[in-house]
């Protein structure tokens, strides 16, 4: 039975940063991932990472922009930690080998991003995530004597002891189908987001809410789950992301009248208002008949106004995406986009060291909600979140491990998970297919838990999710083998997605106001008196999740009307 001081589930940016920090603190580490680490979703991150590194910038300005971007739902103590530690983190990345763009003076070049009052986004063309992920992976190799890598292992459950302390996990070796108990003094969940709950999504197929639901099932509250980010520029046809870096470089949004309509909605920031504001503006134009493309369901993103040389240098990936996935040369003609599901602001509730209310269990990155994003995440703040809170979790978990003895685990949870997998594989083909249920879930969520919401739509979505949860219990798969049986893992992931989706819907129903990414057409105003608080959802057996509230931490910025 493998045992480690710190076990990290997830090898994207949050997981790898946590692993590096824990290894540097001198403890034994395991890092586990259901895909090869450099295929983690972080590899897709494009536009950059925010940090007040310029001599004319200040971390407090970054923090204020983040608080305002969050629509005053973000916890300001956590935002202060993230923004004040950002410059050192970005310089650290530079020093370990991330080849950030430099300007003609040899300084880090910074690009404009939405909701930021100055240019503060460091970048590597439009492959920033890939650049950072590969450097971290390389750095981890230096610690190969103390860091064990479990690549293509799928965590099925967390293990809690009788006192409710997390002592490890059960995982399946995807290549062989063997199951194993992993024991650890501390577990860090770094298993990413939940985009696959929506169809389409900009997120990778692996973003299936695994860690979010594993923590929820272990009794950890999920916070801010109603806050789902729709990114303003995803391809009309298939939901692929066109980075905000394009607007940062100067691209325009145009409606069917050829107007730069953002003038009406955010006259000061135009296309670079926060994402919730731009997505709502686009959807309003579309709903009011000023959309473009088939059925008027899109908006033009005009990148031709950016000098071609600059586009080819700084936006080279989206040049390829435009050609390959929309048949458009973005240096010559506008491309059709629309708002599309992109990010989950909510997740596993943690403190600023990544600790959850379950002793021994930490969470960092998109799986977590320390609440630095509140109602709306600013572009380029997620990579920062993964690295700052990944590092802090790694350091904290390592320190905690030093004063502990190794716990012991029996095989109870393993036997349960093995039996569940056997039951799924053995199901008769009388129910629905797993993929059919996933499709219906995605379509319903994208219709009713999207840019605009209302009571009736959310109630309907909730009824559908409850029905799908029932149907999932008998959903069948085709592959009955053990080697690389992705089918059976898909069935397990469907269960994770349905639990997390229910929390999103229930929280969105509960919040009877409009704030950040939650716009309720039946409650169109922000209502600080009643709703400036976090909504938490906790497991309640098979029943609808229990709702409870927690206060928003305010340090120096009192809520004010948000205008861009
Ligand atoms: C197209 C795109 C572009 C983006 N661009 C930017 C950007 O420019 N700037 C920015 O700040 N943000 C950006 N984001 C957001 C950002 O990329 C993500 O929020 C961030 O990378 C998430 O990192 P993570 O480490 O939390 O999770 P991930 O990178 O998603 O990693 C999750 C890890 O968990 C593992 N895992 C999951 N479930 C299991 C399981 N059951 N068992 C074992 N392992 C498991 C996975 O294998 C993976 O290793 C972008 C997002 C998208 C979709």
Rounded CA-CA distance 104/118 in Å is 19
Residue 167 near ligand 1, beta carbon < 6 Å: no
**Residue from 221, 219, 223 nearest 164 by CA:** 219
Q: Taking the CA of residue 246 as centre, how many other CA atoms within 13 Å lie in the half-sphere pointing to its CB? A: 27
Q: Which residues pair with 253 in a beta bridge?
A: 301
| 15 within ligand 1 shell (Cβ under 6 A) | yes
CATH of domain 412-547: 1.20.58.100
234: exposed, middle or buried (Cβ count in 10 Å: 0-12, 13-18, 19+): buried
The encoded tokens of residue 21 equal: 């920090």
Distance 203 CA to ligand 1 centre (A): 8
Q: Collapse the DSSP code of 154 into the 3-class scheme (helix H, G, I; strand E, B; otherwise coil) and give the result.
A: strand
CATH fourth-level superfamily of 3-227+343-404: FAD/NAD(P)-binding domain (3.50.50.60)
The token pair at 148 is 């064990």
Distance CA 154, CA 148 (A): 15
Is 538 assigned to a binding site? Answer: no
Could you give the residue ranges of the DSSP H alpha helices within 404-559?
Answer: 412-425, 434-448, 455-472, 486-510, 528-531
Ligand 1: which atom is nearest the Cα of residue 207?
30
Catalytic residue among 275, 392, 453, 562: 275
pLDDT in tens, 461-490: 999 999 999 999 999 999 999 999 999 999
Contact 414, 180 (CB under 8 A): yes
Partners of 523 in the β-ladder: 520
Using 50, 70 and 90 to split pLDDT, how confident is the model at 1? confident
Please compute the mean of the pLDDT values over residues 171-190 and round it to a whole number.
98
Averaged pLDDT for residues 371-393: 98
The contacts of residue 149 (CB under 8 Å, 6+ apart) are 11, 30, 31, 32, 37, 140
The total number of residues shown for the chain amounts to 564
The answer, yes or no, to whether any atom of ligand 1 lies below 6 A from the CB of 48, is yes
- pLDDT tens string 49-90: 999 999 999 999 999 999 999 999 999 999 999 999 999 999
369 CB near ligand 1 (under 6 Å) = no
Q: Where in the chain is the domain with CATH 3.90.700.10?
A: 233-340
Using only the alpha carbons of the chain, give its radius of gyration.
22
Which ligand 1 atom is nearest residue 50's CA?
11
CATH class of 233-340: alpha beta
Q: Is 386 in the pocket of ligand 1 (CB under 6 A)?
A: yes
Kindly report the number of other CB atoms within 10 A of residue 324's CB atom: 10
Q: Is 491 annotated as a binding residue?
A: no
Strands (E) located in 161-298: 166-173, 179-189, 222-223, 228-235, 252-254
Average pLDDT of the chain to the nearest whole number:
97
**pLDDT more than 90, % of the chain:** 99
Output phi, psi for 535, to 5 deg: -100, 125
- For residue 39, give the ligand 1 atom closest to its CA: 49
Over residues 90-103, the mean pLDDT reads 96
Mutate to test the pocket of ligand 1, among 366, 387, 497 (most ligand atoms within 8 A of CB): 366
275, 114 contact by CB (below 8 A): yes
pLDDT tens by residue, 429-464: 999 999 999 999 999 999 999 999 999 999 999 999
Q: How far is the CA of 386 from the centre of ligand 1 (A)?
A: 9
| Residue 374 CB less than 6 A away from ligand 1 | no
In this structure, which residue's CA is closest to atom 10 in ligand 1? 380
By alpha-carbon position, which residue is closest to atom 21 of ligand 1? 42
From-to residues of CATH 1.20.58.100 in the chain: 412-547
How many CB atoms lie under 10 A from the CB of residue 414? 22
Q: Answer whether 300's CB lies under 8 Å from 334's CB.
A: yes
The pLDDT assigned to 538 comes to 98
**Confidence (pLDDT) at 286:** 98
**Integer angstrom CA distances of residue 50 from 351, 386, 495:** 21, 12, 35
For 131-162, the pLDDT digits (tens) are 999 999 999 999 999 999 999 999 999 999 99
Beta-strand runs (E) in 81-130: 110-111, 121-122
Question: According to the annotation, is 140 in a ligand binding site?
Answer: no
For residue 389, which phi and psi values (nearest 5 degrees)? -85, -20
Question: Is 260 labeled as catalytic in the residue annotation?
Answer: no
Query: Which residues in the chain are classed under CATH 3.50.50.60?
Result: 3-227+343-404
Question: pTM of this prediction?
Answer: 0.97
Cα-flanking dihedrals φ and ψ of residue 230, to 5°? -100, 120
Instruction: Choose the residue to mutate in 156, 383, 417 for probing ligand 1, maximizing ligand atoms within 8 Å of C-beta.
Output: 383
Taking the centre of ligand 1 as the mean of its atom positions, its distance from the CA of residue 50, in whole angstroms, is 17
Under 8 Å between Cβ of 157 and 38: no
Only one residue has tokens 């494009």, namely: 46
- Which protein residue has the closest C-alpha to ligand 1 atom 52? 45
- In 51-160, DSSP assigns E strands to 110-111, 121-122, 147-151, 153-160
481 is known to lie in a ligand binding site:
no
367 and 247 Cβ atoms separated by less than 8 Å:
no
- Chain center to CA of 248: 21
> pLDDT tens-digit profile of 238-282?
999 999 999 999 999 999 999 999 999 999 999 999 999 999 999
Alpha carbons within 13 angstroms on the beta-carbon side of residue 73 total: 34
């Amino acid at each position: 039975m493998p045992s480690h001081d710190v076990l990290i589930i997830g090898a994207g940016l949050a997981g790898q940063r946590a692993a590096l920090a824990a290894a540097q603190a001198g403890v034994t580490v395991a890092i586990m991932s259901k895909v090869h680490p450099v295929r983690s979703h972080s590899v897709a991150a494009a536009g950059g990472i925010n940090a007040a590194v310029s001599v004319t910038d200040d971390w407090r300005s970054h923090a204020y922009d983040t608080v305002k971007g969050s629509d005053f739902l973000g916890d300001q103590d956590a935002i202060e930690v993230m923004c004040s530690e950002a410059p050192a983190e970005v310089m650290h990345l530079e020093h370990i080998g991330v080849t950030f763009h430099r300007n003609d003076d040899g300084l880090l070049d910074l690009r404009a991003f939405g909701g930021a009052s100055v240019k503060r986004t460091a970048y590597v063309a439009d492959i920033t995530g890939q650049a950072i992920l590969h450097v971290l992976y390389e750095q981890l190799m230096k610690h190969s004597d103390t860091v064990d890598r479990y690549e293509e292992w799928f965590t099925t459950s967390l293990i809690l002891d009788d006192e409710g302390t997390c002592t490890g996990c059960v995982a399946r070796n995807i290549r062989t189908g063997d199951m194993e108990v992993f024991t650890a003094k501390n577990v860090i969940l770094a298993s990413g987001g939940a985009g696959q709950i929506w169809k389409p999504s900009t997120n990778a197929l692996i973003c299936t809410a695994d860690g979010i639901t594993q923590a929820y099932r272990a009794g950890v509250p999920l916070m801010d789950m109603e806050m789902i980010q729709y990114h303003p520029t995803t391809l009309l046809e298939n939901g692929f992301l066109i980075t905000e870096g394009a607007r940062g470089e100067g691209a325009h949004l145009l409606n069917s009248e050829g107007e730069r309509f953002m003038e009406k909605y955010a006259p000061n920031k135009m296309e670079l208002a926060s994402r919730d504001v731009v997505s709502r503006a686009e959807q309003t134009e579309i709903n009011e008949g000023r959309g473009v493309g088939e059925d008027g369901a899109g908006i033009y993103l005009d990148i031709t106004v950016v000098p071609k040389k600059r586009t080819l240098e700084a936006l080279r990936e989206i040049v390829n995406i435009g050609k390959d996935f929309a048949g458009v040369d973005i240096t010559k003609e506008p491309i059709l986009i629309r708002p599309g599901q992109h990010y989950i602001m909510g997740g596993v509730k943690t403190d600023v060291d990544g600790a959850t209310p379950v002793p021994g269990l930490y969470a960092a990155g998109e799986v977590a909600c320390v609440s630095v994003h509140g109602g709306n995440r600013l572009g380029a703040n997620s990579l920062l979140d993964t690295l700052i809170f990944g590092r802090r979790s790694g350091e904290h978990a390592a320190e905690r491990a030093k004063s502990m003895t190794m716990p012991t685990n029996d095989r109870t949870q393993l036997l349960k998970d093995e039996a569940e997998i056997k039951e799924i594989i053995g199901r008769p083909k009388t129910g629905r297919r797993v993929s059919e249920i996933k499709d219906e879930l995605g379509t319903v969520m994208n219709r009713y838990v999207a840019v605009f919401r209302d009571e009736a739509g959310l109630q309907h979505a909730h009824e559908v999710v409850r029905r799908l949860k029932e149907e999932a219990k008998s959903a069948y798969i085709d592959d009955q083998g053990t080697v690389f049986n992705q089918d059976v893992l898909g069935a397990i992931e469907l269960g994770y997605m349905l639990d997390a989706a229910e929390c999103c819907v229930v929280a969105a129903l509960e919040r009877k106001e409009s704030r950040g990414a939650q716009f309720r057409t039946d409650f169109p105003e922000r209502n600080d008196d009643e709703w400036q608080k976090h909504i938490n959802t906790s497991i309640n057996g098979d029943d609808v999740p229990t709702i409870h509230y927690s206060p928003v931490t305010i340090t120096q910025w009192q809520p004010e009307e948000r205008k861009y």
